[in-house]
C-alpha cells in the first residue's frame, strides 16, 4: 500500500506541473514545491549515482559511505548507489551535465555556477560549513605578509571553486580584484606541488591541504574565511531525479544524519574510518574535523551565506546569469525528515 501511495503522490505532482495551459508559472512553481508528505515506502530498482570528492570537507558523506550507512538506508527503500570520485566541484558539474550522476556534493560557488548555466539541479541540504577550512597559503619563507602583497603575484586556485570566491572577497577588501593577480588555474594536488616548488607565490586551498602543509612547516596561512566566508558545503540533486525518487533523497539524507551523529559523539572513530580516503594521518584528520561543523540542516545563516556568494559572484562577473535562490534551494526533504 505504501508503495502505491508513493507512486500516486509522485504522479499527482507530475500531473500538477504538466497540466493545462491555463496554469500560471507561479502555480507551477508552487506545485513543484509541494511539501514532501510521503516519507516511507519503496522505490524498487532505483539507482543513485553519486559523484564524490575525496576531501574531508565531506567527511560525513565518507563516514556514511565507508560504514555502509548509505547502502543500508537505500536498501530499505529498494534502491542502491554507485560511487565515482572527482577532483573538484567543476568536474562533478561536468559529470552531472553529461547525465553521468544524479547527486553531487560540493562547495557553494561551483553549485551556483552550475545553476547559473542552466543545469537542472536543486540544493537539498547542507553537508558542513567552516570558515577556517578554506585559506590562502604562502610558503613559510615567503616575504608576503598581507593580501595586499599579492598584487602582481602568481596565485593558484581552481577556477570555479569556492576558493575563487574567497580570494575575490579578500582582494576586494584591499581595493583589488582578481585581475590584479596572476591567476594560475590548478587543481588542489597541483597547487601543493606548485607552492612547494616555488612555482607560485600563493595558493587558495581547502582542507586537507591546509592542515597537511602547515603541520609539515611548508606553508603558513595568510588569510582564511574567518568573518568573511561561512564556507558551506552542500548536496545537490538533479531536480528531475529528486522529483521522481523522493524516497531515495530522504534515505540518503538519513544516512548523512547518522554519520553526523557519529562525528559528534565519536570524532576519533570518524577520523579512523576516513583519514586514508584523504591521504593524511589520523592525527591530522582529527585536527581537520575541528575546523568544520557537519549538519544537513539549512538554517537562515546558511541560506544567507549561500545567497551572498551568488550575489557577489554576479557582481564581480564570476557568473553571468542570475540565480533564483527560492527555486534553487529546496528544503522540502530536510523539512520532511525533521517532522518524523
pLDDT of residue 28: 43
User: Would you state the pLDDT for residue 160?
Assistant: 85
Q: State the pairing for strand pair 219-224/182-185.
A: unpaired
pLDDT at residue 340, rounded to an integer: 64
Helices (H), 175-299: 188-196, 209-215, 239-244, 246-265, 267-272, 282-289
108-155 pLDDT, tens per residue? 999 999 999 999 999 999 999 999 999 999 999 999 999 999 999 999
Let me know if 142 is exposed, middle or buried by CB neighbors in 10 A (0-12, 13-18, 19+).
Answer: middle
- For residue 263, what pLDDT is reported? 98
C-alpha cell at 205: 586551498
What pLDDT score does 30 carry?
40
> Which residue ranges of the chain lie beneath pLDDT 70?
1-32, 340
> What does the alpha-carbon distance between residue 197 and residue 187 come to, in Å, rounded to a whole number?
16
pLDDT at site 38: 80
Superfamily for domain range 132-224: Periplasmic binding protein-like II (3.40.190.10)
Nearest to 128 by CA among 67, 223, 83, 61: 61
For residue range 299-317, list pLDDT tens digits in order. Answer: 999 999 999 999 989 988 9
pLDDT attached to residue 339: 81
Does 132-224 match 46-130+231-338 at the fold level?
yes
> Domain extents for the chain?
1-34, 46-130+231-338, 132-224
Identify the architecture of domain 46-130+231-338 in CATH. 3-Layer(aba) Sandwich (3.40)
Residue where the block lists cell 594521518: 281
Amino acid at each position: 500500500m505504501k508503495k502505491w501511495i508513493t507512486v500516486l503522490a509522485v504522479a499527482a505532482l507530475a500531473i500538477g506541473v504538466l497540466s493545462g495551459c491555463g496554469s500560471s508559472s507561479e502555480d507551477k512553481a508552487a506545485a513543484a514545491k509541494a511539501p514532501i508528505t510521503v516519507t516511507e515506502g519503496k522505490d524498487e530498482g532505483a539507482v543513485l549515482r553519486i559523484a564524490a570528492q575525496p576531501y574531508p570537507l565531506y567527511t560525513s558523506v565518507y563516514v556514511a559511505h565507508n560504514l555502509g550507512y548509505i547502502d543500508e538506508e537505500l536498501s530499505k527503500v529498494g534502491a542502491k548507489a554507485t560511487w565515482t570520485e572527482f577532483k573538484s566541484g567543476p568536474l562533478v558539474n561536468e559529470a552531472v551535465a553529461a547525465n553521468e550522476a544524479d547527486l553531487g556534493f560540493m562547495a557553494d560557488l561551483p553549485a551556483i555556477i552550475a545553476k547559473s548555466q542552466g543545469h537542472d539541479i536543486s540544493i537539498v541540504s547542507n553537508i558542513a560549513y567552516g570558515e577556517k577550512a578554506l585559506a590562502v597559503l604562502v610558503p613559510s619563507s615567503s616575504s608576503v605578509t598581507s593580501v595586499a602583497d599579492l598584487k602582481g603575484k602568481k596565485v593558484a586556485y581552481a577556477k570555479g571553486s569556492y576558493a575563487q570566491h574567497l580570494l575575490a572577497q579578500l582582494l576586494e577588501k584591499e581595493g583589488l580584484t582578481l585581475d590584479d593577480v596572476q591567476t594560475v588555474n590548478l587543481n588542489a594536488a597541483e597547487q601543493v606541488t606548485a607552492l612547494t616548488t616555488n612555482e607560485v607565490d600563493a595558493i587558495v586551498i581547502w582542507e586537507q591541504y591546509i592542515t597537511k602543509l602547515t603541520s609539515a612547516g611548508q606553508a603558513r596561512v595568510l588569510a582564511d574565511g574567518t568573518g568573511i566566508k561561512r564556507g558551506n558545503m552542500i548536496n545537490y540533486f538533479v531536480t528531475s531525479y529528486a522529483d521522481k525518487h523522493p524516497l531515495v533523497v530522504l534515505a540518503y539524507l538519513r544516512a548523512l544524519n547518522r554519520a553526523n551523529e557519529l562525528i559528534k559523539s565519536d570524532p576519533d572513530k570518524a577520523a579512523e574510518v576516513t583519514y586514508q580516503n584523504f591521504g593524511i594521518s589520523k592525527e591530522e584528520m582529527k585536527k581537520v574535523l575541528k575546523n568544520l561543523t557537519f549538519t544537513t540542516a539549512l538554517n537562515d545563516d546558511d541560506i544567507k551565506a549561500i545567497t551572498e556568494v551568488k550575489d557577489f559572484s554576479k557582481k564581480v562577473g564570476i557568473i553571468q546569469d542570475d540565480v533564483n535562490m527560492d527555486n534553487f534551494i529546496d528544503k522540502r526533504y530536510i523539512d520532511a525528515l525533521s517532522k518524523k
